[in-house]
A and B are shown apart, each in its own frame.
Chain A
Amino acid sequence: MRGAKSAKWVAGAAVIALAATACGGGDSSDEGKKNTSGQPAGYVSIDVGEPQKPLMPADTNESNGSYVIQSLFTQLLDFDDKGEIVLTNAESVETEDSQTWTVKLKSGWKFHNGEAVTAQSYIDAWNWYANVENKQQNAFWFSDIKGYEDVHPEKGAPKSDKMSGLKAVDDTTFTIELSNKVPYFNYKLGYATFAPLPKVFYDDPKAFGQKPIGNGPYTFEKWTHKKLIQVKAWPEYQGPNKAANKGIQFKNYSTVEAAYSDVISGNLDMIRQVGPRDLPKYKTDLGDGAIDQPYAAIQSLNPAFYSKTFKDIDPKVLQGLSMAIDRDTITKTVLNGTRIPATSFTPPQVKGNQTLDSDILKYNPAKAKELIKAGGGVPGNKFSIQYNADGGHKEWVTAVCESIRNATGVDCVGDAKPDFPTDLEARDNNEVKGFYRGGWVADYPVNVNFLKELYHSKAESNNGRFSDKEIDELMAKGDKADSLEESVAAYQEVEKALVDKMPAIPLWYYAINGGHGKNVDNVKVDFHGDLELTGVTTK
């Protein structure tokens, strides 16, 4: 407690200073107690900041926007906290050959403006999202559907505004024909991008983005830019995730510390992530309200296979480097217990996660040295790890380097880029000099999402440009499977093969370290680390 005591002393000095200048903390004593922001009774508040873009389901992939989108829109299906499918707007999503899917909607569903949600609402929306002219960021999510090239050609104007794979059978039934088999396609449908749109959207998409009308558990109330978004529970909602509270306030905070101090003082109900400053004490501060739960996301070191250091590298070297990282100690000390050491290439929350029959992810300095030597060593006996300095990565990058240096004598330096855009640009332009810091959160809870999207030689997010024929073939096998189980099993084989190829060094899984105040209850975390807002109750 020495630190706390001395802090009080300095604070005391500051108070004397303020008293000396005849100016105290103001006379807001009675105001201080009541809820300041005019939060209506029965509403819950959470620190979700300003969405990056207007609120359109297919144009949002960052967490602030998607929180709001998910409260306003409901897709065909969703996932429970174990990653199992829960049907929401769909009665059933079925296939016989993994290529043609039949969707039946629950009848009687309506948009917030009273319009019925029909098969056509989905088809029109998906066609609009996929159209290259509408410049939707998540357009590529529709690329499995037959006819995608017509609405979203690589170059030039679209040939059609409809994908031939989408056909309405009747008001509540439609079929989706894919250009190839995708056994896990129904899992993709859980992504918020697949939400339906009401007819008013097409009149003025721009205005809609500021004042969306959805079919979800909440209706839009107001958006005070950079400050607050407020949504109200919708009594007519028929899905399983009906709101247990009266509404939500998404409040914008400039720092996690500011949000945390508001949770402590009762002005905010929930915080998604406690900042490093408050992590050591948040469990004492919040008591039962503290949330510490792992979710489906992984951090890894990805070698740039075009770089001088890792061009034609023997995977043994990478295995050696992996074994030189003391994950247990780093996650416990440097990362304050906020991460869980990785035991495979996929997090435990996804279908098909398995324990690898290999010790490459265990700390073993002796074997590490041996493997690196056997693989011919790291060129120049030195490598770098690229990271963005604005994301709190410096500390663990330094620790990982220290660990590798101590264990193997190979020198390691951090290659800091000032912020995320700069970091991304270096990755896009193949300018990474050694490793880059990779992070991936599940879009859907299947191992495919962590293997194909990252390590297929044509995968767009494969920024290390890992390319291996054998792996691609194994993945193709998984994609041709007739059922999800077969496909997942085939991808498990892919993962086993990756141990000998080392497209990346898995480091640790993420955990959410958030919390809630005394006014709310039943705060749960979903598989990709978002707080589930519909179930939150007020006291």
Chain B
Amino acid sequence: MGRYVARRLLQMIPVFIGSTLLVFLMMYALPGDPVRALAGEQHVDATQIAQIKADLGLDQPIWQQYLNYLGNLFQGDFGTQIGTQRPVAEVIAEAYPITVRLAIFAFVFTVVAGISLGIVAGLKADSLRDRGLLGLTLVLISMPSFVLGFLVQYFFAFQLGIAKPNVSLEPTNTELIMPAIVLASLSLAYVARLTRTSVAENIRADYMRTAIAKGLPRRRVIGVHLMRNSLIPVVTFLGTDIGALMGGAIVTEGIFNIKGVGSLVFEALSKREGATVVGVVTLLVIVYLVCSLLVDLLYAVLDPRIRYA
């Protein structure tokens, strides 16, 4: 087991370098000069642009820039933003906590609500409540999150007046519930459906019949025997979902005015702040890698047959 983990950790290095290089190259390939764009429709002289670029090392060939970037990164330096002249690490450190909180909220909601809905539906497939769940999840899957976000905002904030339309500068936990639900709704639907199918299938399996025949209490049959076997596809999905929740919150963060990673990346992208984009993506890559490692380890817990040597 230990060797497996070590091997997995070593594998992260090429993935890490490859993905940062890719993002770096993509940012470089985008048209539009970030230093020039600062001036908008007004004019700036070329000497001045060249000087600013030289200061930031943007005048060097791309491979040199990448090597510099990696070198600085290993010393903990994420670079400097072109426009604000602030260190990227500081900018990211401001945006990350709130996104992590939002993602945790959304994730917990997805797990708790999604899995319980899935079990409830799967235990009695093709019943009325199962059909109801399928219909509901279909609505959630097909509804874009900006529509859902707007509707939730409209209903709870403006019609009922029980919540604020936007979160405040230092959001409290209660304020984050509404955006977290909106953010979670899509994966909630997937988790519920995955669980439902898996449960519906396994409930007819031989080991289930055996367990019931042995006279085990129902709670144990479902809680241990059924769940352990049904959760493998769900866990796989949830693992990758954490990364998606952290990176894919642009729309939700926009609707509820949350100053998180989503809006940071979007803004940085449109301003061609390469260092910021690469920095955020780097962290997201790490989150993805760690999550998929955790998923693989969880497999072993859930199903000893897939245990690694």
Contact = CB atoms under 8 A, between A and B. Distances in A.
B85 A25 contact: no
A380 B298 CA distance: 65
Nearest to A30: B162
A14 B152 contact: yes
Contact of A137 (B38, B91, B162): B38
A461 B45 CA distance: 12
Given A31-B164, A54-B85, A421-B272, A26 B154 contact: no
Contact of A53 (B38, B117, B272): B38
B163 to A, nearest CB: 5
Interface in B34-51: 34, 36-45, 47-48, 51
B162 A29 contact: yes
A51 to B, nearest CB: 8
Interface string A442-479: 00000000000000000011000000000000000000
A31 B32 contact: no
A258 B257 contact: yes
Given A28-B174, A421-B272, A61 B40 contact: yes
Interface stretch (B18-26, B175-183, B232-240): B175-183
Interface in B245-289: 253-259, 263-264, 270-272
Contacts of B45: 139-140, 154
Interface in B110-163: 113, 117, 136, 139-140, 148, 151-163
B11 interface: no
B83 A140 contact: no
Given A14-B151, A421-B32, A258 B165 contact: yes
A17 B136 contact: yes
A144 interface: no
Interface in A141-175: 154-155
A254 interface: yes
B95 interface: yes
A284 interface: no
Interface in B79-95: 83-86, 91, 94-95
Nearest to B41: A461
B84 A54 contact: yes
Contact of B157 (A135, A257, A265): A265
Contacts of A23: 109, 113, 177, 181
B155 A254 contact: no
B50 to A, nearest CB: 10
Contact of B270 (A51, A224, A390, A461): A390
A366 interface: no
A66 to B, nearest CB: 12
Contacts, number: 194
B36 to A, nearest CB: 6
B169 A224 contact: yes
A36 B169 CA distance: 8
A22 interface: yes
B197 interface: no
Contacts of B158: 261, 264-265
A422 interface: yes
A265 B94 contact: no
B168 interface: yes
A252 interface: yes
Contact of B86 (A20, A26, A225, A419): A225
A186 B140 CA distance: 61
B36 A428 contact: yes
A23 B174 CA distance: 12
B252 to A, nearest CB: 11
Given A226-B259, A254-B253, A254-B257, A265 B40 contact: no
B223 interface: no
A26 B175 contact: yes
B201 interface: no
A26 B259 contact: no
B65 interface: no
A288 B195 CA distance: 54
B178 A261 contact: no
Nearest to A454: B41
Contacts of B159: 11
A61 B43 CA distance: 11
A139 B259 contact: no
B216 interface: no
Contacts of B215: none
A18 B271 contact: no
Interface centre among A18, A140, A264 (most CB of B within 10 A): A18
A174 to B, nearest CB: 27
B52 interface: yes
B31 interface: yes
A424 B259 CA distance: 28
B155 A262 contact: no
A137 B166 CA distance: 35
A132 B163 CA distance: 52
B85 A227 contact: no
Interface string A398-416: 0000000000000000000
A304 to B, nearest CB: 15
A25 B162 contact: yes
Given A14-B148, A61-B40, A228-B169, 6 more contacts: A18-B181, A32-B162, A51-B84, A140-B43, A259-B257, A265-B157
17 contacts: A7-B151, A14-B155, A17-B136, A21-B117, A21-B188, A28-B174, A29-B162, A37-B168, A137-B39, A226-B259, A254-B253, A261-B158, A264-B165, A265-B164, A421-B33, A424-B32, A426-B31
Interface of A: 7, 10-11, 13-15, 17-18, 20-23, 25-29, 31-32, 36-38, 50-54, 61-62, 132, 135, 137-140, 154-155, 206, 209, 224-228, 251-255, 257-259, 261-262, 264-265, 267, 390, 419-422, 424-426, 428, 438-440, 460-461
Interface of B: 30-34, 36-45, 47-48, 51-52, 83-86, 91, 94-95, 109, 113, 117, 136, 139-140, 148, 151-166, 168-169, 172, 174-175, 177-178, 181, 188, 253-259, 263-264, 270-272
User: Which 7 pairs from chain A and chain B are nearest by CB?
Assistant: A421-B32, A460-B43, A421-B37, A261-B165, A36-B168, A258-B257, A25-B156
